[in-house]
Each structure stands twice: as structure tokens, then as C-alpha cells.
Amino acid sequence: MRLQKVLTQPINVYFVTFLVTGVFILLFLIWSLYSQSQNIQQTVIEKSFSQAQEEFTNNFNASINHLTLELKTLSEWDEVHQQLQDPSYYFFWHNERLKESVLFKKNYEQIELYNADKKRLIPIQTDASQTLVELPPEIQTLEPKVIILSATEAHLILFQTVLDREDQQIIGYIGASIDLLSFLIQNNDFTYVNKSTIQFSKLGEVSLKTALSYIHYEPVANQQQIIYGA
Amino acid sequence: MKVSPLKSIILLSLLTLFINGPVQAENITLNVPHSNLKADAEYVAGDADKSAVLILHGFLTTNRFHTVISMARALQDEGYTTLAPTLTLNISKRQKAIKCNAIHTHSLEDDIIEIKAWIKWLHNKGYQKVTLLGHSSGSQELLATLLTDTEDLNINGAIFTSLFYLNGEELGISKQDIESATQAVSKGLTRPSKYSFLFCKNNYYSTPNSFLSYLKLDRQYVTEALDKLTIPSYTIMGSADQRYQSVGQNWLEVLEKSKTHLIMVEGANHFFSSEHEFDLQDHIIDIVNTL
């Protein structure tokens, strides 16, 4: 009897109850959708950063391996052995022949040959306007390094041993200075990294091993990010 | 015991391989006399009773050049010993063909020293008969070598393929280049310059001495040298060699009149490419069999 009394209410009460419940359900659904979209956006951003980081790291390592192989090929070149054996015409070879060769790649800023005592064959005075980082007259360490001059300018310095073809003894070294940013951009395809955002975040000389941690970049703005206004 | 046909074939193949043995190519390194250079050659030992054949590559190439490899394989298949050196061209243990615009410091005289050192190597190895076989400018260089003191080296014959000469206006050698190189030498200048030499048009980057040394091998030198030889010589030419366009077809008449035995391969180019490779091989085998 009491239940019947409770349920028997004017139509207005039922209407207001239904309206309030409906509004709450609607608000819950809106909140739920917003919350999910925020989660998706966060996941997309995290995924984009993760893909960009993976892509950049892979491309960076592949580029260094590629450069190392190029220098290895250069170290096996007959003409490098010719110059190390008899550098009488090194000046002409270095200034004319080397730069015409297909082995001298476009991102190489400077290539120098060093004798077995790690001294440059001939200490050529390079035009300072052309090369901001001059390879040293004597090799102090074979450890590869990166000299960062600005946010968009860094020079990778690599050394490669040249071995005697018979007894595999070191007969000299090749020193190379490479425009790192140009090399990375021109020799790699980036899908997740926005190439125009690649920058160096520290100035000065760093080892190649730590160089990656001083390179900053942004992922490309993908469709989801545009939709969600990221 | 009954052996199936398939097993018979396999056994026969293994037996043949065991008796003949695979051709064993050996890389030989030689200290070049009067220098600190080391030279490489591919050596394949053949039958002891057959002559050894020294095969010399053409201008700026190596012993890996396809015509050289083809001639060597044919001789090896017939049981001849082959030695195919790569001239160092002043690069120790040179591995690859050298480009026109590389710095050329080598000379004809240097090349002859190396060639003679290789012939002596074969001689010291105990070969009683050595046959010389050259391709293109390798032929001219062997010819020049034979005009030096080689009588004690038991050379029993020479085969020249695609034999031409290296100096002459018709080959693109300019009088101006010769004059400037000669003047540089007379002034004691050794600085390399760009010359035109054979297929290197205005980009043969060479010291004046190096450039001039090869110009000795002109048309007259080659024809006279052929007549001066005291051993039998054979010259194999391709009828479709494009170099007749510069030296003229009468070059064949000059060779015909000389003491060399001229053999023509109809339709063959300078390198005896494609099917003419086999014609070249057949002629070479016929010649060495008669020497």
C-alpha cells in the first residue's frame, strides 16, 4: 500500500525525474567521451614522440655506419695508398684530384691524410671562409667527436686507419670533417621526425657517443594532432 | 654390385675433379727492383712440361680486366701455366684500374722493370719456356721489353693482341702537350699537368716525365720493333676495332708487311667481346701449341 502511494505521483514529478536523469546521463557521456579523447590524444602524442625518437636514433646510427663504411672504402683506395707511399704530389692530389673523385661525397667538408705518426701529410692552410672547423695538424685521439657551433651547425670529425695491404700494419690515417646536420637531412627519409626542427641543444665539443642526447627534434604534426589541436 | 646411372655420374664427376683438381689461383707479391713498391700477380700453375704464359693487361687496367681473364682461363684449361701481373703504376699492390685524372707518375721504363722482374720470377720458378701475351698497350709494353736484354730469360714467343701505338697526332696527342712537357722536363719541373693521352682527353693528369716516357711507343717504333724481334711473334687483331678510325686501316697492311704473323678475327672489337672471345682463345691456344 505504501509503495503504491509512493509510485502514484503527478505526471510532473515523473517528467522532472526523467529530465534530471537524462541530463546526468548526457553529462556523463560527454565527460566520458572527453576523457577518452584526452587519453587518445595523449597516446597519439606519446606514440608520435616514441616513433620520432626511434626513427631519428635509427637514422642517426645508420648514417654514422654509412659514413664509417665510406671512409673504409676511401682507406682502401689505390690513390690514398699512393699518396701515403709518396706524398710528393699530395698538394695537387688533395686540391684537384680528390675533390673530383666520386669517393669525395658532397657532405664532406674536408678530407686529410695523416702519416703513420698521425701527422698531416702536408699542413695545408685551408681557406677559413670555406671551412669553419679545420682538421688538426696532428691526431690526438681517434675517438669520433662532434663540434657544435650553433643550433643548426655541427661538424662530425672521424678518423679511419689505412692498413698496409700485405702485413695489415697501419700506414696512415684519413681524417674527415662532415657537415652533420646536412648529412642527416639529405641522406635520410624522415616520416615521423619534422626535419625542420632538428637542432643541437649544446655548444662545444662532444663525443659522438653522447651527441645524440644533444640533438633536439619534434615529431611531425599528424592528422590526429591537428584534429585535437596538439 | 649394381650401380644406378645417377650414382655413376656423381662418382665419375668426383673422380674427374679429384684427378684434374680445381684450378688453384695464387696471388703472388713481388718486390719491384730499385723501388719500395710491391706488385701483385695472379699465378696458376699448369703442366710442368708446357710453357708458362705471362699475360699483360692494357692501359691503366689490371689483371682483372675481362679480356685478360678470358685469355688466362683458356690457357689454364689447356694446362698452361699463367702469370697475370698488375702493373703497379707506382701504386703498391694496385687493386683497381686507375682513372685518367689520377696523378700519373709511372713511366714506360718503370713498367719494363716490373715486366722483366715477373719474367725472371717465372724463370726462377723453373719454367724453361716463357711466352709473352699482351692486350692493347700491354702488347706495346711487352714489345718494348723484348728490345731490352731478355735473351737469358728463355722467352720462346710473343703474342700481341689489339696492337697499336701510343703517339701520333691522329691519336689526339697534341704537339702543344709534347712541347710543354718537354720544356717542363728541361727546366726540371715535375709538377703534374693535364694532357690528352689515348682515351683520356684533356684529363690525363701526369708528371711531364711520365707522359713523355710512353710517347716513345709511336708507329715507327712499334713497326721497327716487330722486325727486330729474334723470337717468333704473332699479332691478333679484331677487324671491327674502332681504333682503325684514328690510325687508319693501313695499319693492318703495316703489320702484314712486318715480321709478325698477323691473324685477323672478323667482326671482333678491341676487347674481343662476346662470341669473338672464343675465336681469340682458339687462336691463342693454336699459337702456344706450336711454340
Q: Cα A141 from chain centroid?
A: 24
Q: How far is A148 from chain B (nearest CA, A)?
A: 35
Provide, as residue numbers in chain B, all residues whose Cβ is less than 8 Å from the Cβ of A113: none
For chain A, the structural domain boundaries read 2-43, 47-224
Q: Which domain holds residue B133?
A: 22-99+106-166+217-290
Which residues numbered 161-220 in B keep a CB inside 8 Å of some CB on A? 190-192, 205, 207
**B40 contacts: CB under 8 Å, gap ≥ 6:** B27, B28, B29, B30, B63, B85, B86, B93, B94
State whether ipTM is beyond 0.90.
Answer: no
Contact flag A85-B190 (C-beta cutoff 8 Å):
no
Total number of domains in chain B: 1
Instruction: Give the H/E segment covering residue B137.
Output: helix B137-146
Q: How far is A230 from chain B (nearest CA, A)?
A: 56
Question: Is residue B189 situated within a structural domain?
Answer: no
Contact flag A165-B96 (C-beta cutoff 8 Å):
no
CB–CB of B198/B171 below 8 Å? yes
Question: Is residue B186 situated within a structural domain?
Answer: no
Does A22 have pLDDT greater than 80?
A: yes
Provide, as residue numbers in chain A, all residues whose Cβ is less than 8 Å from the Cβ of B29: 166
pTM: 0.81
- Whether the CB of A205 is below 8 Å from some CB of chain B: the reply is no
- Whether the CB of B38 is below 8 Å from some CB of chain A: the reply is yes
Provide, as residue numbers in chain B, all residues whose Cβ is less than 8 Å from the Cβ of A88: 105, 190
Contact flag B91-A85 (C-beta cutoff 8 Å):
yes
Q: What is the CATH number of domain A47-224?
A: 3.30.450.20
pLDDT (0 to 100) of residue B107: 95
> Which of A110-114, A204-208, A214-218, A222-226 bottoms out in mean pLDDT, i.e. has the lowest?
A222-226
| CATH assignment at residue B280 | 3.40.50.1820
pLDDT of chain B, 291 residues: tens digit per residue: 455 555 655 555 555 544 455 568 999 999 999 998 999 999 999 998 899 999 999 999 999 999 999 999 999 999 999 999 999 999 999 999 999 999 999 999 999 999 999 999 999 998 989 999 999 999 999 999 999 987 788 899 999 999 999 999 999 899 999 999 999 999 999 999 999 998 899 899 999 999 999 999 999 999 999 999 999 999 999 999 999 988 988 999 999 999 999 999 999 999 999 899 999 999 999 999 998
Does A228 have pLDDT greater than 50?
A: no
Q: Is B162 left (phi over 0), alpha (psi -120 to 50) or beta?
A: left
- Whether the CB of A86 is below 8 Å from some CB of chain B: the reply is yes
Question: Is residue B248 situated within a structural domain?
Answer: yes
Question: Is residue B9 situated within a structural domain?
Answer: no
Instruction: Give the H/E segment covering residue B28.
Output: strand B25-31
Question: Is residue B31 situated within a structural domain?
Answer: yes
Alpha-carbon gap, residue B59 to B82, rounded angstroms: 20
